[in-house]
Structure 1
């Protein structure tokens, strides 16, 4: 029990959650010498590989993790979502998340929650103990509250994210250095407030692993020149987690989890270019760069990653597909997606799912009609600018998100994680905190 709780006379259980964005479970399991601290959690507690959501994209995943509900409930389907009844799109922010987060539930119980660097939390909430917003936030001066937290983060030159542009260079040394610096400053803030011991829920996310994986995952898999640098970064990440673990009292359970897995990337697939070539998509002019540039003959379009929408009458402003033809048209598009191959005959799509099979909730009007999961090696892109080819193997990224092989590790033995997914994390945290909830509050279920 911490000093603050002793002074309060409280003995409520506590949870420290550490997010490791994009870290596949297999990476941890295959490298025990690199992940000494996480291996200790695996051996002394409970751990396993879990599934992500459709689509396995950071912007959709973290609202799902923190609410325990699918995108149909959160209202966040990806990095770019469509306005209802419009072709205008927007980047989701914290206020677009339509369900209670775990820290809202903690606060409602009169307990304290400290929240650090969770994607899709800008602007920072002022009804929680303290919060610094994560990915998709501007500079720290407007992304942290209260003032004491903001001042400290400015003092240590805290970074919300790694500079991904450095990863575009062939020489990755500056990129790795920046990733280490970002991680170290993140860790300095995490340790200060974890050791402050005045919280019931500490919820912090390390985002840098996702960035490192995007630009160096192929080096790890192939044994390339930067494999050593890749593993050195992860060794430092593991040390950071070990430092937090050592600082926790006996009343606190450590939970570590990632939002999706990772795979090597061989080729980007420009889905809207493919749709245009196959006669599904057309534009008003040759100078097109946005969804709003589509013309009245468009039958379907894509938003990333792998989200496909029919241009439906009554839903889209200039819908061309009658509602009476919805099912047949969607099935036609599904078949064509499932048949998609590279020029040398390799199949691209692993699975295509219909929206009613994976999304449930009140935000149906902006849900994709189909979601395609690619086979390993392919990344489904969806910008609206023209491309010379559908398949592009020249991009700087060498790693891609995967639906399977996200990770969860709980510093508590005897917890079964078989058949679990990221929607189970929020109710598990609530159960560990001994906060009551209705089974219908979550799409997931507690693992405890």
Structure 2
């Protein structure tokens, strides 16, 4: 058997247009995998966010089935109950659990949705949601001691990557990347796993920190910046690390390179709660003199029908009688109000009056099941090129900045995938219509393992 039989290199947020087109000639290892295997754009989950996208990809379940609708989720029906969903919220087996049950030795390194760590048939290193290496971050626990010996300054993420301290962020990014790939190389040499997966969060972080100097399309483009080549150079570095990692694998190791979503310039923000106030759906007892989060102001819930939350997309919540503590919307009015909001939001324009291309999704229509406390509506502004800003007190519908710190980029609904199995080369086949949900059924089928009948994805012809 080759070691590993299958390796998955996850690159959070890697943008297909940069790899397939703009910088293809500068990425020889990815280019070789594309030329010998299959590759294509890769549709993310809705929402196209790290949490839940990697968990969707690794379980074959959608956000509704997982009950995870974004980085933050309502913990209860209270008005200010948003909390971060960690890996304990994922109640389904992941790809490496199925492989482990089939006798494969597995290693999963830094895959979002694996904090806190849990037992697997092999080793697991938890993800960027782990606060530090002072808490348990590995299975088995003694692996943590070994990692600290190898890398005393082992990083779980780039600290405070939305800041103006660009030189420090860039230094941290390369260090984070190198640590992930070096750890993978060491574990392959030491444990000879049948399956290894790593995720580098640095691609996502570098987009958020350094997109303005790279992209003339950005409204705050920074020509002649010393960081103009930061993202390009990081992609080149990741490509080199991929080449080095594959050199410690056997010649017939199958390789999947995948990103959970793409990236694009951040065109601005839509202040969703300001819009709801202006349109009479949300009532404040007093209007704040400066922008603050909604949970820091006094809301008159008895006069409020709808409120929203910010992030990559807008979450719209209806104040439903018998469901929320001070509900005002009768169940008979629930669907008409969703229709009214959908129609009105769809008419939003850019600040210059151009159509905004608003997509409004109902969880019951896009998910196989709806568990937990889903938003009543999920809204994409121009395929995520515009963020949703939840703060109130801006006095304006539009912002140019993110309200959570300096930010250059937003997510895009399509990531990328590149698959090459030396035992069955595909000679540059371009994949059409691939979705993040297809990974688990495709790989289980490929290795002769039975997948549950109710998985969402299809089997790709790789």
Which residue number in structure 2 is paired with residue 163 of structure 1? 159
- Give the 3 Å change call, closer, same or farther, for CA 224–267 of structure 1 in structure 2: farther
Partner residue, 1:207: 201
Match of 1:299 in 2: 305
1:22 corresponds to 2:22? no
TM-score, normalised relative to structure 1:
0.90
Give me the whole-angstrom Cα distance separating, in 1, the residues matched to 2:303 and 2:183: 53
Q: Is the 8 A contact 2:6 2:254 kept in 1?
A: yes
Q: Is the 8 A contact 1:220 1:227 kept in 2?
A: yes
User: 1:134 deviation in Å?
Assistant: 0.9
Indicate conservation of the 8 Å contact 1:439/1:445, yes or no: no
Q: Distance in 1 between matches of 2:367 and 2:384?
A: 26
**Unmatched 5+ residue regions in structure 2?**
217-222
Change (3 A) 1:416 1:342: closer
Q: Do residues 148 (structure 1) and 157 (structure 2) align?
A: no
Q: Alignment partner of 2:33: what SS?
A: helix
Aligned to 1:387: 394
Offset of 1:291 from its aligned partner?
5.1
Q: Distance in 1 between matches of 2:460 and 2:224?
A: 38
Provide closer, same or farther for how the CA distance between residues 247 and 135 of structure 1 changes in structure 2, counting only shifts above 3 A.
same
**Inter-CA distance 130–351: structure 2 relative to 1 (3 Å threshold):** same
Q: Greater helix percent: which structure?
A: 1
Of the structure 1 ranges 67-76 and 211-220, higher mean CA displacement relative to structure 2 is found in 211-220
**1:256 match:** 257
Q: CA deviation at 1:384?
A: 4.7
Q: Deviations over 1:281-336 (max 9, x none)?
A: 23456577455964232212223322222222233232211111111100111111
Q: Does 1:238 align with 2:239?
A: yes
Residue 195 of structure 1 is aligned with which of 186, 189, 199? 189
Q: Indicate how the Cα distance of structure 1 residues 310 and 345 shifts in structure 2: closer, same or farther if over 3 A, else same.
A: same
SS at match of 2:302: coil
Mapped pair 1:445 → 2:458? yes
**1:367 maps to which of 357, 371, 374:** 374
Q: Residues 151, 284 of structure 1: CA spacing in aligned structure 2 closer, same or farther, 3 A cutoff?
A: farther
Q: Tell me the matched-pair count.
A: 434
| Aligned counterpart in structure 2 of residue 411 of structure 1, from 412, 416, 420 | 420
Residues 52-201 of structure 1: matches in 2 within 5 Å?
Answer: 52-87=44-79, 88-142=81-135, 143-155=137-149, 156=151, 157-165=153-161, 167-169=162-164, 172-201=166-195
Q: Where does 1:5-20 land on structure 2 (aligned, <5 Å)? A: 14-20=5-11
| CA pair 102-224 structure 1, distance change in 2 beyond 3 A | farther
Task: Tell me if the contact between 1:214 and 1:400 (Cα under 8 Å) persists in the aligned partners.
Answer: yes
Kept in 1, the 8 Å contact 2:207–2:409? The answer is yes
C-alpha separation in 2, matches of 1:314 and 1:94: 30
Partner in structure 1 of residue 441 of structure 2: 427
- CA displacement 1:164-222 (0-9 Å, x = unmatched): 34x521x6322211111111122211211133353222121011100101122232222
Q: Residues 148 and 331 of structure 1: is their aligned pair in 2 closer, same or farther, counting only changes over 3 Å?
A: same
> 1:402 matched to which residue of 2?
412
User: What residue is the counterpart of 2:342 in the other structure?
Assistant: 334
Unaligned runs of 5+ in 1: 4-12
Q: Distance in 2 between matches of 1:410 and 1:164?
A: 33
TM-score after normalising by structure 2? 0.87
Distance of aligned partners of 1:278 and 1:224 in 2 relative to their CA distance in 1, 3 Å threshold: farther
